[in-house]
Structure 1
Amino acid sequence: MRYQARGKYYEELEVGDIYEHRPGRTMTEFDNTLWTLSSLNMQPLHLDRHFAEETEFGERLMNSMFTLSVVVGAQVTDLTMGTTVANLGFEEISFPRPVFVGDTVYSETEIIDKRTSESRDDSGIVTFEHRGINQDGETVCSCTRVALMKHAPDAADLQT
């Protein structure tokens, strides 16, 4: 029998379930510089060591949009690979602690709500809470994401 990697269909996602996504991602100077330059975010707090040393942080911070992308991206293979129709929105994004070069960020996702779609009979709407946690167990990023998720084509597809 041949199996194809996929995320979870709407029917497989239960409110209250929490998924830990591994491995974590150790943030590097290369990540920070590449993301910052690619996104045209020229904030010196990400690029200029001497500038950053004079701030309250004392060193460069990882670009928060990179951190958010890593936290959300880590869930794809576990939850949404090939089963998401579309992202409908991101809400309540927060960065309660800074992330520095060398920190490792682990991700987890909680299913916080789900409902059938009123306009599409092939999918449902799921609300995810994604959290990024550093190597010290501190939350460094969280966001709420609403996505349109495919219904399973039939019960046999839930087995493969």
Structure 2
Amino acid sequence: MAGVYFDELTIGQTFRHEIRRTITETDNVWFSAITHNPALLHLDEEYCRTQTEFGQRLVNSAFTLGLMVGISVGDTTLGTAVANLGWDEVRFPKPLFHGDTIRVETEVLELRDSRSRPDAGIVTFLHRAFNQRDELVAHCRRSGLQRKRPAASVA
């Protein structure tokens, strides 16, 4: 198990995730298509080249959000998460384009014991994604229910 237990986390703890990902045209078009998002900003190169300030297609922001959180899972919640409770304050301060490479950092913002589950706690993470120029391209707060370390069994 790669994730960490609730009681191993500390407020202010920061994870700099090793996984980096270059976003391809296939990623963007496939994700937009399977989620039934027909936005011209993601699918129509000619429209974007001639009718937008960007001059090219933008990466679907829902894909960016999923990738940012997904990159964090191995270091934080893999095998220790009970449930994702929600995303708040999701922002995309700069666009991503085909060929951009992102890296992700995660900071622990809040910790509290669960009132209904003595074997778990609620953690709030701040995820931040940066492009290859170290520009902040996305960030969000994510809350989750995280398992506590199991009590050692007595023989």
TM-score range, shorter chain: over 0.9
The residue number in structure 1 matching 2:14 is 18
Deviation of 1:78 (Å) = 0.6
Task: Name the structure 2 match of 1:67.
Answer: 64
TM-score after normalising by structure 2: 0.95
Q: 1:23 deviation in Å?
A: 2.2
| Residue number in structure 2 paired with 1:100 | 97
Task: Provide structure 2 residue ranges, at least 5 long, that are not aligned to the other structure.
Answer: none
Match in the other structure for 2:147:
150
Q: Find out whether 1:51 has 2:47 as its counterpart.
A: yes
Aligned match of 1:122: 119
Deviating more after overlay: 109-118 vs 146-155: 146-155
Work out the CA distance in 1 between the residues paired with 2:152 and 2:67.
Answer: 32
Runs (4+) of structure 1 exceeding 6 A deviation are: none
Give the number of equivalent residue pairs: 152
* TM-score, scaled to structure 1: 0.92
Match of 1:42 in 2: 38
- 1:71-91 CA distance string (max 9 Å, x none): 000011111001000111110
**CA RMSD between the two structures:** 1.1
| SS of equivalent to 2:64 | helix
CA distance in 1, matches of 2:116, 2:26: 44
Q: 1:155 Cα deviation (Å)?
A: 5.6
Give distance in 2, aligned partners of 1:8 and 1:51. Answer: 45
* Identity fraction in percent: 47
Q: Which amino acid aligns with 1:85?
A: V
